[in-house]
Amino acid sequence: ALHYKGLWARTIGSKSTYLVDSIIATMCLACAVIYSGILGDVFTPLLESAGVPAHLNGRTSNILLLTIGALLPMSLIKNLSALAFTSILGFMAIMYTVFFILWRSLDGTYTLNIGKFVQDGAVALPSFAKSSLWNVDFTSLVLASNLGLAYIAHYNGPAFYRELKNTSSKRFGAMVGVSFTILTLLYIVTMVAGYKTFGDTCAGNILLNYHPSDILSTIGRIATGFSILFGFPLVATGAREGIAGFFDGLGYPSVKAEKNHVLLV
């Protein structure tokens, strides 16, 4: 099978394939909302630092402008291989952000009472009052949720398989193994370094914890913003294919026709 619908049909039955497509579409649409929120969180402070007046620099308006000017055009791309170059740029941006978070956890600039970026009260002070190696409570559900999203079977997995050069089960398996090994290391390094720096005061978006005058964090925000921009079309593709597959499973195959491509996006 070259898509999740085919796997579902083989293992469970063809009559309910719309269920797996609806799940993928819902998850991708939710991810799109999360991505949009992160873009608003990242670019609004950056524009403020650049001197853009407050009445022209609203979070909601920035998200709308980014959606119309960048996210929509990139999401109209049909072939994911066309995003290979931007994917490389996005990966480089992620690597820089991981490096800077790790560096700041080691250089002492956010150390409580003595760090140069915690002296003026502009950022939340690091706190480790709740720190415990084995503590499990309701806040642990946040970690469980993040891990679930981080290690989920990718919604575009079938598309990656189809578009992989000289594709085969063996080559695809090797690619997945290497990719998840790299991702696991990146996740562990980032989580440990972020918590080591800020402890209990870590924000949902760790970049919001860093001082506005911290040039490394500013570059990190820019890098993260562009990595989200470059990654958004992947989410849009998953949502588009999920919606089209959902209606196809309900007996409306015409929804995925070429003429409906823009409407689905």
Mean pLDDT across the chain, nearest whole number? 86
Matching residue, tokens 């990190």: 220
Rounded average pLDDT over 170-183: 91
The pair phi, psi for residue 198, each rounded to 5°, is -120, -15
| Helix, coil or strand: residue 127 | strand
Residue-wise pLDDT tens digits, 52-92: 898 889 999 999 999 999 888 888 887 767 777 777 888 88
**Torsion over CA: 181, 234, 209, 50 (sign):** positive
| Half-sphere exposure of residue 209: CA atoms within 13 angstroms, side-chain side | 23
Residue-wise pLDDT tens digits, 6-59: 888 888 888 888 898 898 899 889 888 988 988 998 889 888 888 889 888 999
Rounded average pLDDT over 220-238: 87
Plot region of 51 (φ>0 → left; ψ -120 to 50 → alpha; else → beta): left
Q: Please give the full DSSP string across the chain, using - where no structure is assigned.
A: --SHHHHHHHHT-GGGHHHHHHHHHHHHHHHHHHHHHHHHHHHHHHHHHTT--GGG--HHHHHHHHIIIIIHHHHT---GGGGHHHHHHHHHHHHHHHHHHHHHHHS-TT-TTT-GGGSSSSSPPPB-TT--SS--STTHHHHHHHHHHHTSPPTTHHHHHHHSTT--HHHHHHHHHHHHHHHHHHHHHHHHHHHHHHBTT--SSGGGGS-TT-HHHHHHHHHHHHHHHHHHHHHHHHHHHHHHHHHHHTT-GGGGSGGGHHHH-
Strands (E), 35-181: none
Report the pLDDT value the prediction gives residue 80, as an integer from 0 to 100: 67
Of 111, 123, 114, 92, residue with least CA distance to 214:
123
Report the pLDDT value the prediction gives residue 174, as an integer from 0 to 100: 93
pLDDT tier at 1, thresholds 50, 70, 90 = low
Residue-wise pLDDT tens digits, 117-170: 999 888 989 998 888 777 788 878 888 888 877 877 777 788 788 888 888 889
DSSP conformational letter for 164: S
